[in-house]
Amino acid sequence: MIFFEIIFWVCLAMTVYPYAVYPLLVAVWSRIGGRLWVQKDNWPRISLLISVYNEAAVINQKLDNALVLDYPEDRLEIIVVSDGSTDATNEIVSSFDDPRVVLKAYERAGKTASLNRAISELTGDIVVFTDANSMFPPQALQKIARNFADEQVGLVTGWTKYRRSGCDEEEASGVYARLEKMTKKGESLISSCVGADGAIFAIRRELYRRLEEYDINDFVIPLHVLSQGRRAVLDTDVYCLEEPSQGAAKEFRRQARMTNRTLGAIRRNTHFLNPFRYGSFAFFLVSHKVLRFMTPLFAVGTWLISLLLMTTAPLYLLIFVLVTLFLSAGLVGLKGWSHSKIIDLCATFLLTNAGQVVGWFRFLTGQSDTMWTPQR
pLDDT tens digits, one per residue of 173-204: 577 888 999 999 999 999 999 999 999 999 99
pLDDT at 132 > cutoff 70: yes
- Distance, CA of 279 to CA of 366 (rounded, Å): 31
Buried b (16+ CB within 10 A) or exposed e, 196-216: bbbbbbbbbbebbeebeebbb
Q: Count CB-CB contacts under 10 A for residue 248.
A: 18
Give the Cα-Cα-Cα angle 188, 191, 194 (nearest 5 degrees).
60
- What string of DSSP letters covers 264-318? HHHHHTGGGG-HHHHTHHHHHHIIIIIHHHTHHHHHHHHHHHHHHHTTT-HHHHH
356 confidence band (pLDDT: 50, 70, 90)? very high
- Distance, CA of 159 to CA of 14 (rounded, Å): 27
The enclosing H or E element of 158 equals strand 153-162
pLDDT for the residue 167: 55
Of the CA atoms within 13 Å of residue 290, those in its CB half-sphere come to 13
Q: What count of residues does the chain have?
A: 376
pLDDT for the residue 164: 64
pLDDT for the residue 172: 44
Buried b (16+ CB within 10 A) or exposed e, 45-55: bbbbbbbbbbb
pLDDT for the residue 246: 65
The enclosing H or E element of 83 equals strand 76-83
pLDDT for the residue 173: 53
Q: Read off the pLDDT of residues 54-96 as tens digits, 9 standing for 90 and up.
A: 999 999 999 999 999 999 999 999 999 999 999 999 999 999 9
Average pLDDT, the chain: 92
pTM recorded for the entire structure: 0.91
Domain annotation for the chain: domains and CATH numbers: 1-31+248-376 (no CATH), 46-244 (3.90.550.10)
